[in-house]
Copies of this chain bind each other. A is one copy, B any other.
Amino acid sequence: MAGNTFGKIYQLTSFGESHGKAVGGVIDGCPPGTPVDETYIQVELDRRRPGQSKITTQRQEGDQVEILSGVLDGVATGTPIGFIIRNKDHRSNDYDNMKKVFRPSHADFTYDQKYGIRDHRGGGRSSARETIARVVAGAIAKKALESHGVSIKAYTSRVGNIEVQKSYKELDLSRIEENIIRCPDMDVAREMIELVDGIRKAGDTIGGVITCVAQGVPVGLGEPAFDKLHAQLGKAMLSINAVKGFEYGSGFEGTRLQGSEHNDKFVSEGGKIITEKNHSGGIQGGISNGQDIYLNVAFKPVATILQKQVTVNSEGNETELKVKGRHDPCVLPRAVPIVESMMAITLLDMLLTNKIYG
């Protein structure tokens, strides 16, 4: 109700503030027998970890997960999986001057108004450290999905105006981790990194788009009318910090087409019914049709810039703000595993939901 739980069957409840003792969560509804591999979870957390490259924040956090329950001999028992990750390298003093100042385009003002009380240190609950819990739940979900033949890959497809021109089908998605911006087109990646590095030096930030693809998704996932698969995926992605837009399949551009151009012709191939073009993005009528699910997620430029800004304080008086602290010039590289995680959590949740029809 108060918004810290996601999913209907595979449910993640997350907790924790940026500079509190720990962040963590509870996963309820994980199917018994699912492998829970702490080494793999750590690999995923390391993809999201601060300080991983020169173009991310330099906050140093090991982000070591400790699993407290629900797992026996490396597999889920079906009981809730509680886990925590202790916060270590927080420099709360860096935030002293923000206690009563509302940073532009940040959640300071709205949290203050909504709750009447606010943990201002490091952004408190509104910090993207909350997404750690998503990556833990996502890593477990990915492994569970793997056994159903589902694989998930996300990558940075645009930074500012620098964009991958190829479709995901023309890219080698196994190469995403080869560069620090997480873009499988190596030439474009180089340009993106250069852009972000320049932005970083200027104390500024930049936005962009992440593309995510799920392959091998079984037919039948999604619950119309209101819980259509893409509606759940849209909510999942829009709940990630800094996201401003979502589209799947042919998306916004597809709306320029006529039905006769846009329609996905069904064909029979080796006993399976597939579509030729997949403008539908793997989802028809809110239900997966077995084709690739692909979608785009738009991330705004990070609100915290290192330049001087004019804003107001909680008394409504104008004040000048010069942010200290260590911040990301561009969230995209670290957001890639988060997007994958939300895709995995949503697909596993819908796959389990679909079992009620079995």
Q: Which residues of A contact B (CB under 8 A)?
A: 1-6, 8-9, 11, 13-17, 20-26, 28-29, 31-33, 66-70, 72, 75, 77-82, 84, 102, 104-111, 113-119, 124-126, 130, 158, 160-161, 199, 204-209, 219-220, 222-228, 230-232, 234-236, 238-239, 244-252, 254-268, 271, 273, 275, 279-281, 283-289, 296, 298-305, 307, 309-312, 316-318, 352-358
Contact = CB atoms under 8 A, between A and B. Distances in A.
A316 B354 CA distance: 23
A130 B256 CA distance: 25
Contact of A2 (B9, B110, B116): B9
A199 B267 CA distance: 26
A111 B285 contact: yes
B238 A228 contact: yes
B68 A21 contact: yes
28 contacts: A1-B11, A3-B28, A4-B26, A4-B79, A4-B226, A14-B226, A16-B80, A72-B119, A75-B117, A78-B116, A79-B119, A104-B265, A109-B266, A110-B288, A111-B285, A206-B259, A234-B246, A239-B286, A244-B249, A245-B245, A246-B247, A252-B296, A254-B301, A255-B298, A262-B300, A263-B305, A355-B358, A358-B358
Given A247-B245, A258-B204, A286-B239, A66 B21 contact: yes
A230 B238 CA distance: 7
A4 to B, nearest CB: 5
Contact of A235 (B33, B70, B235): B235
Nearest to A235: B235
For the complex, would chain A's binding face be called helix, strand, loop or mixed by DSSP majority?
Answer: mixed
B247 A244 contact: yes
Given A72-B119, A113-B289, 15 more contacts: A2-B356, A4-B28, A4-B224, A16-B69, A17-B79, A20-B68, A20-B70, A79-B119, A105-B263, A110-B285, A111-B287, A130-B225, A161-B256, A204-B260, A355-B355
A78 B223 CA distance: 10
B68 A224 contact: no
A5 to B, nearest CB: 7
A84 B24 CA distance: 11
Contact of A5 (B28, B113, B115, B254): B28
A163 B239 CA distance: 29
A207 B262 contact: yes
A116 B260 contact: no
Contacts of A104: 263-266, 275
Nearest to A159: B255
A235 B324 CA distance: 36
A318 to B, nearest CB: 7
Contacts of A205: 258-260
A303 B289 CA distance: 16
Given A2-B9, A303-B263, A312-B266, A246 B238 contact: yes
Contacts of A17: 69-70, 79
Contact of A257 (B115, B207, B252, B289): B207
